[in-house]
Structure 1
């Protein structure tokens, strides 16, 4: 698969409280919740948040792990966050995100420089965690 038509659709994160996680992503990162009211009404199995027009994060309750039968061993993945998810932002938004995280008392790492990613070397990046311990990297290339 080397064509440019492949896009990242979604990443599923195991979370302890999907509604609280959706609130974190909305208030701290500005990601709009999807199906949150349906989830809280018991009409959807999990909510999501929109990263951009093509990509969402699904906030999967850890309690659903026992239902993960589509792949042998999938249920054991509950509670094991992905290594990290990287968000690529324009430079101004990158600085704005870091300031916003710090204002909300979300610990952030020191800056990294020239780390490799999908678009080559990023000028700067830093890391932070969500309330469930999932690690995010924020970076800018410009």
Structure 2
């Protein structure tokens, strides 16, 4: 069930209109757990589960589109913010070849730009050379 103040602000109007679009951003870590990434992956598996629940609750019952984007490594500058020397090296290595944020935005636009009778359930987008 959609809960919380944000959901309460939009859910009644979407249900009344029998239209709308909920888009959740997750990660490939919600599909496969990486080394030492159990807790982070658990949060992303939660997003996958709640998105499926939303799809069933408001999608099927009320015609509201519910989508999820699961990107891999994105070049957001995050690797430069790691303060631990070894962690920074690992992050910078992982970030090599990362996809540009514009590519994720393109995936979001694709999901949102569907006719009302079509829902893109999940888009997985990651660097071609990312090993997961």
Same fold (TM over 0.5): no
**Which one has the bigger helix percentage?**
2
**Which one has the bigger strand percentage?**
1
Q: Which has the higher contact order (CA 8 A, sep 6+)?
A: 2
- Find the structure with the greater CA-based Rg: 2
Q: TM-score w.r.t. structure 1 length?
A: 0.29
Q: TM-score w.r.t. structure 2 length?
A: 0.31
